[in-house]
Amino acid sequence: MKKGNLNRVKEVLLKSRSILITTHVNPDGDGISSELALYLFLKKIGKEVVVTNRDPVPEMFAFLPGVDEIHVSEQPPGNPDLIIVTDCGGLERTGLKIPEPCNPKVIVIDHHLTNDQNGEINLLDHEASATGELVYHLIKEMEKDCPAKMDYPIALCLYTAIFTDTGSFRYSNTTPEALAIASKLVSYGINSWTVAEQVYESKPYATLKLTGRFLQTLGISPKGRFAWGSIVKEDFQKTGTREEHTDGLVNYPRSIRGVEVAVFFREMDSEQVKISMRSKGEVNVAAIAEKLGGGGHHNAAGCIMKGSLKEVRKKVLRMVAESLQDEVPEEDSVEVCG
């Protein structure tokens, strides 16, 4: 991250009158926590600030301070002179419709590898474990010029951002910097078990039923280097779940010994499929996702593709097989659940 950008973002924030904060569609722990941390701090310094997301907050993040104040809408209220986009490359990924007469400045705060630098000011660091790390630095920078200080609710959000994006401090982005910041955040009174319990140990029963159906669909390539699984719309209907309950399912095929790339396919409708990819080796899944119109990180990426589940799965598995010098599985061995 460029120190100069940190100062520029701070200056613009402190000068702005009305601020809108948002994150990507289907928001995750890092996106929601980062925007809430910034929201809570800006409110403390007396700014007119709102958080608007296109999609609702998943239940597992309902414990975050300020979460009830998030507007869920495609159309943000008011007439902001500044928009802050967190945890993605720009306004396009937020799904928001900004009314024509508004001409706000856009600041992007992000840690993705596939960021096109769409903001007027971009606070980017793809080595940061989470966008929450960048927000931590920004708040610490603003503390120097403001009477308001970081506090427990803000620290809880930022800890959750880093905790979720590092897979509970398991992934390779668990850097010394990530741990150092997490350590400082814990000193504000965070109880690590409370966060873990809220995020990972409070699942609805129906989520496990959905997981059971997902596990039935698992497939593995001939050389065992990649594996996959799918969810179709009927799975949601039969179990009474929604797409947010698929969070983490891709970790099951990834957890198989020898598997380097895991792919999760979720049927959105008869013509669109959401794809999540994870790698645990050298393969850069962000590069594969980017070729398919999406993006992400080296080890975690995604995209949305047009086509039936069967067509999309065939195409994606062929690309993954090529990148791993593995083979495409026989058509018949690719189970379609439901």
Which positions touch Mn ion (CB under 5 A)? 30, 87, 131, 165
- CB nearer ligand 5GP, residue 178 or residue 303: 303
- CB nearer ligand 5GP, residue 49 or residue 107: 107
For residues 303 to 332, the per-residue mask of contacts with ligand 5GP, x marking binding by CB under 6 A and - elsewhere, is xx----------------------------
Instruction: Give the footprint of ligand 5GP on residues 114-133 (CB under 6 A).
Output: 114
Q: Quick check: 266 binds ligand 5GP (CB under 6 A)?
A: no
Q: Quick check: 300 binds ligand 5GP (CB under 6 A)?
A: yes
229 contact choice in ligand 5GP, Mn ion, none (CB below 5 to 8 Å, kind-dependent): none
32, 61 in Cβ contact below 8 A?
yes
Q: Quick check: 229 binds ligand 5GP (CB under 6 A)?
A: no
301 contact choice in ligand 5GP, Mn ion, none (CB below 5 to 8 Å, kind-dependent): ligand 5GP
91, 85 in Cβ contact below 8 A?
yes
To ligand 5GP, the closest distance from the beta carbon of 315 in angstroms equals 16
**Over the range 187-207, which residues count as b (16 or more CB within 10 Å of their CB) and which as e?**
eeebeeeebeebbeeebeeeb
Residue with token string 């992934």:
171
Residue of minimal Cβ distance to Mn ion: 30
- CB nearer ligand 5GP, residue 181 or residue 303: 303
First vs last Cα of the chain: how many Å apart? 46
Phi, psi (degrees; rounded to nearest 5) at 86: -110, 145
Instruction: Give the footprint of ligand 5GP on residues 7-26 (CB under 6 A).
Output: 24
Q: How many CB atoms lie within 10 A of CB 280?
A: 14
| Binding window for ligand 5GP (CB under 6 A); candidates: 122-130, 177-185, 221-229, 296-304 | 296-304
34, 132 in Cβ contact below 8 A?
yes
| Binding window for ligand 5GP (CB under 6 A); candidates: 214-222, 236-244, 252-260, 290-298 | 290-298
- CB nearer Mn ion, residue 230 or residue 279: 279
Q: Which residues contact residue 303 at a Cβ distance below 8 angstroms, ignoring those fewer than 6 apart?
A: 274, 275, 289, 292, 293, 294, 295
* Whole-number Å distance between alpha carbons of 213 and 52: 34
Q: Quick check: 294 binds ligand 5GP (CB under 6 A)?
A: yes
297, 214 in Cβ contact below 8 A?
no
Interface pick for ligand 5GP out of 76, 119, 229, 302 (rule CB under 6 A): 302
- CB nearer Mn ion, residue 200 or residue 308: 200
Q: Quick check: 54 binds ligand 5GP (CB under 6 A)?
A: no
115 contact choice in ligand 5GP, Mn ion, none (CB below 5 to 8 Å, kind-dependent): none
Interface pick for ligand 5GP out of 121, 295, 305, 320 (rule CB under 6 A): 295
> Which residues would be at the binding site for ligand 5GP (CB under 6 A)?
24, 88, 93, 112, 114, 276, 294-297, 300-304
